Amino acid sequence: MLNINKTVENNTAAVSLEGRLDTVTAPELEKALMELIPDLTELKLDFTDLDYISSAGLRVLLAAQKAMNKQGSMTLTHVNEAVMEILEVTGFTDILTIR
């Protein structure tokens, strides 16, 4: 289960995720982000309520990061310990902007 809350203001989008980002839910986020990204210069992802992220979820983050690299910036906020551990293990902390 994943709830995606989006607020778009000018070219800035704030997306907060709630639940598990795994094989089943990742396509939903991918679809939502790919719709937003073409018009964005700034993408803020709020991971406060994100419990788990799988490799499928990481792929979406990677794709989004690659896309945003070309037109602006992407930041992750409020990443909890469990998710942060996964990000560290997979080396994603090196390419993502985490605050």
Partner 1 sequence: MKIIKGIKIGGLQQKIFNLMLFFLIALIGAFLAISAYQQKNLTRTVQDANDRQQKSIEAVSEETMLAVLNSTMTQTTELQAYIADDLFSQVRSDVLTLQTFATELFTHSESFNDHPIEPPSAQNDGTPTAQLIHEQGVDPSQSQTLGLVAHMSEIMVAMYESTNTISSVYVATADGNMVLVNDRPGTFIGDDGAVLTLDIRHRPWYTQAVEAGELIFTGVEMDAYTSTPMLVCAAPVYDGGKLVAVVAADIYLTSINDYVAGKASEGSFVCVINGSGQMLFSPKQEGSFRVELAADAPDLRESKNQQLAAFVRSAMEANTGLRLVEVDGESYYMCGAPMKTVGWTAVSVVDREITRQPTTALLSNYDRINGEALSTFEDGAKNSVRTLVVLLSVICLLAIGAALLIASKVVRPIEHMTKRINALSGSDGVFEMEPIYRTKDEIEVLAESFATLSKRTRDYITQITQITAEKERISTELSLATKIQASMLPSIFPPYPDRPEFDLFASMDPAKEVGGDFYDFFLVDDDHLCVVIADVSGKGVPAALFMMASKIILQSCAMLGQQPAEILTKTNEAICSNNPESMFVTAWVGILEISTGKLTAANAGHEYPILKAPNGDFEVYKDRHGLVIGGMAGLRYRQYELTMEPGSKLFLYTDGVPEATDAKQQLFGLDRTVAALNEAKNETPRQTLKTVRRKVDEFVEDAEQFDDLTMLCLEYKGKE
Under the criterion CB under 8 A, does residue 23 sit at the interface with partner 1? yes
- Residue count of the chain, please give it: 99
CB of 7 to partner 1, least distance (A): 25
Give, in order, the Cα–Cα distances in Å from 87 to each of 17, 35, 38, 39, 48.
16, 24, 25, 27, 15
Name residue 73's beta-bridge partners. Answer: 42
Quick note: the x/- pattern for partner 1 over 55-94, rule CB under 8 A, is xx-xx--xx--x---------------------xxxxx-x
Phi, psi torsion values for 24, nearest 5 degrees = -75, -40
CB of 64 to partner 1, least distance (A): 9
In the complex, the residues that contact partner 1 under the rule CB under 8 A are 20, 22-24, 52, 54-56, 58-59, 62-63, 66, 88-92, 94-95
